[in-house]
Amino acid sequence: MTDSVRVPAGALSVRAVRASGPGGQNVNKVATKIDLRVDLGRIEGLSEAARDRLAALARHRLDADGRLVIVSQLTRNQARNLEDARAKVRALVAAALVRPRARTATAPTSAARERRLGAKRSRSGVKRLRARPSADD
């Protein structure tokens, strides 16, 4: 992955299965779809915060055992699909390593507040003119 983060081979589980979609007669004979499972607990070099971010990013891709499931059937070639699946894992781990910026609370300026209230008054007047006249007007 990076200099400090790596996924050991023991954390990966690769299975090749038959892919769906086009491929002619080949699709019924060759297992080109890759089902890659990664044990998130065995990834080395991740801080606890990064591990939590990775679990949050991958929450919809976890199986019952808590492993990350990546499926690739992009090409008709098993080796390229395996490389694509590994690239997806790399991208997910890289996204988890990025610490999100802390949000700074800000308040609107008084001029912005006044513009907003002016727009609301103007809109209210437009709607009032659309209304059916009452009996006392």
Both ends of the chain: CA-CA distance in Å? 75
Q: In tens digits, what is the pLDDT along the chain, a chain of 137 residues?
A: 566 788 888 888 888 888 887 767 777 778 888 999 998 888 888 889 998 999 999 889 988 888 889 999 888 888 999 999 999 998 999 999 999 999 999 999 999 999 999 999 999 999 999 998 877 75
Give the C-alpha separation, 6 to 82, whole Å. 17
> Does residue 57 contact residue 50 with C-beta atoms inside 8 Å?
no
In a domain, 128, yes or no: no
Q: Establish how many alpha carbons lie within 13 A of residue 132's alpha carbon, considering only the half-sphere containing its beta carbon.
A: 1
Whole-structure pTM value: 0.70
The tokens describing 104, both together, are: 């700074």
DSSP assignment string, 113-134: HHHHHHHHHHHHHHHHHHSPPP
In a domain, 108, yes or no: no
Q: What is the CATH number of the domain that holds 36?
A: 3.30.160.20
In a domain, 32, yes or no: yes
- Structural domain boundaries, residue 57: 9-97
In a domain, 133, yes or no: no
Q: What total of structural domains would you count in the chain?
A: 1
